Amino acid sequence: MKKSLFQSVSAAASLRLLLSASALCLLSACVSYQGIESHAKLKTLSAQAGAFPDQGGNAAWPDLQWATGIGGAELQALIDRALENHPSLQAAAARLQAAQASTAAVGASKLPSVNLGVDSTYQRFTEHGLVPPPLAGTYNTNNQISFNASYELDFWGKHSAEMRSALSQEKVAEAETQSVRLMLSNAIARAWLQLARQNAQLELSRQQLAVREQFDRLTQQRVSAGLDTKVEVQQNLVQLSGLKNEIAQWQEAMALTRNQIAALQGLGPEEGKLIATPKFQPVADSALPGNLPLELLGRRPDIVSARWRVEAGQSDVDVAKTQFYPNINIVGFAGLSSLGLSNLLNSGSSIIGVGPAIRLPIFEGGRLRAQLKGKVAAYDVAVATYNQSLTDALHEVADQVQILQASQSQLMEQHAAEQAARVGLQLAQQRQKAGTANKLPVLAAESVVLSQQKLSLELAVRHTEARINLIKALGGGYESKALPATTSTAASSNKNIIQSQVKNTAEAAL
């Protein structure tokens, strides 16, 4: 008796050992992802210019009210209207909704699945099957009503990785929406600035034409008096024609710019004619700010979007790795089943069952490894894109800072030249009043002043446009008050300016 019990225990131990060895053999025979890994490395802005904040879900978006500092309420109204009507924003909003729906679908996969099945099949039962006589060889119905449930046990973090990927894609869509808003507001601000420039140049050209017409009349009188020749008359005609063509060109440019602003607002060309003609006023505080905190670059929508793509790519790699592990589900059912409808609702027709369902990849012909390689390659592309976004952002800021500094210096010199022209006009007017000169030198001096005003206008517009572009390059403005309080320690400890780093980059590019 003892020997029999000992043999039974030994047999049970041997069986467990055999099952364990079989499981190990199966696991060792599974496909492996060894040797498939990414070597891409994320750059930080600190490696290029000082520091860069960690991007999280609380990233602050640009304040689009910066336009009031450029063109007042009039420009802000144009931008607000575009942000309501433009099709590209509507498409971006639709993409965001689709990403949110995908996130909800992924979240649902983490929960148990329960469904109701109702089947009723009229059929002939074979005489050589499992159905015994007298049903064998007859026609009847096979009926079943059951609740079926299944739940996947997430031992390997598959659902968590899928959720991280879905949330990252949702953040990408959100960042892209903000990027469209920033690009659209920047485009309208630049178009509005060009419309103001064209209008101001048109007015100056008309003043030049009026001066040239007076000059032509005086020349005609001098020719009639024999004091000048017709050569001067012909030269005046050439300049008059040139000014009239210039006026026509400015009028054409204004019409095209109005059409452009209307299109940016998602409106037809007729709406462009209703846009009020702006008056250009140089921005009072147009100098480069004393401080440009580096965190400002961290809120650029393109950088945030690229960073979330990296997160999504990493999560996709994690999901692909879980495909190499066993898939374990708990399935169950409960309901009624019978041959013939008359017995379906009897208590004896009840069915119930529960148990595990395990799927383990043994041989996939390289499909899983190829799938993982593709996800790793996509992750590497996302990292490279993010690194390039950082480099482009820094150089874009450097370019606009360089333009601002150069245009500011040029404006100072041009103001001196314009002031000298005005002094020349005053001297010519004094000589005319004193009777020592006629009006021709006065008209010539007025023409010089108007030419200098045109040059000053071009430089002032270029300076303002660089300021608009710098606002865009910094993600929406100079101020960093909206930045999240949960910025990384490295970023918060380095609230130095990037102006010096940007300046060095700009100088190195020259």
Per-residue confidence band for 8, with pLDDT thresholds at 50, 70 and 90: very low
Whether residue 158 contacts residue 322, with contact meaning beta carbons closer than 8 Å, is answered with: yes
User: Which fold does the domain 30-110+157-324+366-509 belong to in CATH?
Assistant: Outer membrane efflux proteins (OEP) (1.20.1600)
Residue 123 is predicted with a pLDDT of: 85
307-311, 352-356, 414-418, 498-502: segment of lowest average pLDDT: 498-502
Where do the structural domains in the chain lie, given as residue ranges? Answer: 30-110+157-324+366-509, 112-153+327-360
What mean pLDDT comes out for the span 345-356?
84
**Cα 431 to Cα 419: distance, rounded to the nearest angstrom:** 19
pLDDT tens sequence across 234-248: 787 888 899 999 999
Residue 478 is predicted with a pLDDT of: 55
Q: Which residue has the tokens 């030198």?
A: 441
**Cα 177 to Cα 171: distance, rounded to the nearest angstrom:** 10
What mean pLDDT comes out for the span 337-365?
79
pTM, two decimal places: 0.73
E strands, 58-161, are 113-124, 139-153
User: Strand order of the sheet with strand 113-124?
Assistant: 113-124, 139-153, 327-339, 350-359
Q: Is the pLDDT of residue 338 over 50?
A: yes
What mean pLDDT comes out for the span 257-266?
91
Residues near 191 by beta carbon (within 8 Å), at least 6 away in sequence = 257, 260, 261, 264
Whether residue 473 contacts residue 396, with contact meaning beta carbons closer than 8 Å, is answered with: yes
124-128, 229-233, 496-500: segment of lowest average pLDDT: 496-500
DSSP secondary structure code for residue 296 in this structure: G
The reply to whether 112-153+327-360 shares the fold of 30-110+157-324+366-509 is no
**Cα 172 to Cα 306: distance, rounded to the nearest angstrom:** 8
Residue 415 is predicted with a pLDDT of: 93
Class at the top of the CATH hierarchy for domain 112-153+327-360: mainly beta
Q: Is the pLDDT of residue 290 over 90?
A: no
Whether residue 203 contacts residue 450, with contact meaning beta carbons closer than 8 Å, is answered with: no
Show the CA angle centred on residue 354, arms to residues 348 and 360, nearest 5°: 145
Residues near 221 by beta carbon (within 8 Å), at least 6 away in sequence = none
Query: With pLDDT > 70 as the criterion, what percentage of the chain qualifies?
Result: 79
